[in-house]
Amino acid sequence: MKDLIKIAMEYKEKAYVPYSNFRVGAAVRFDSGNIYGGCNIENVSFGATNCAERTAIFSGVKEGEKVISEIAIVADSEELIAPCGICRQVIVEFCSKDSKIILAKNEEEYIIKTIEEIMPGAFTKDFLK
């Protein structure tokens, strides 16, 4: 788990945040064991901004990954931050009920959440049946 937090911290340093100056890094371990990282990438048209969590998840999905084992998220904050609503929905799409969501300040200060804890009552593909 600490390896994932360390990778997320490294990706945080790569964030492109000329507007908010709020860097976020994420690292996702998929069930295959492969890890993909991501950072937030801002755009002057704020709707075109992409969060670190989605950048990391989409990097894995484009390589054929489908199930998140765990995801670590770090930010330029004194407080632990949780994913935004859009990122939570994307995490729901690719996680299992056992996936771990790690909210971290650093390798020593973190908490672990489940998807049910951060997205209770989530809209899933089960609703489309």
* Domains in the chain: boundaries: 2-128
Nearest to 26 by CA among 51, 63, 2, 1: 51
**Residue 46 burial by CB count (10 A; 0-12/13-18/19+): exposed, middle or buried?**
exposed
Classify residue 128 by its DSSP letter: G
**pTM metric for this prediction:** 0.94
Digit-coded pLDDT (tens) for 93-124: 999 999 999 999 999 999 999 999 999 989 98
> Would you place residue 125 in the very low, low, confident or very high pLDDT band (cuts 50, 70, 90)?
confident
Nearest to 106 by CA among 79, 70, 74, 81: 74
> Would you place residue 127 in the very low, low, confident or very high pLDDT band (cuts 50, 70, 90)?
confident
Rounded to whole angstroms, the Cα distance separating 126 from 81 reads 28
Note the pLDDT of residue 62: 98
Is there a binding annotation on residue 51? yes
Classify residue 4 by its DSSP letter: H
Q: Which token pair is 118?
A: 């951060």
Digit-coded pLDDT (tens) for 60-94: 999 999 999 999 999 999 999 999 999 999 999 99
Residues 124/35/77/94 CA torsion (nearest 10 deg): 0
Rounded to whole angstroms, the Cα distance separating 72 from 5 reads 6
Is there a binding annotation on residue 39? no
CATH no. for 2-128 = 3.40.140.10
Note the pLDDT of residue 42: 97
Could you say which of 53, 93, 116, 117 is catalytic? Answer: 53
53 carries an active-site annotation:
yes
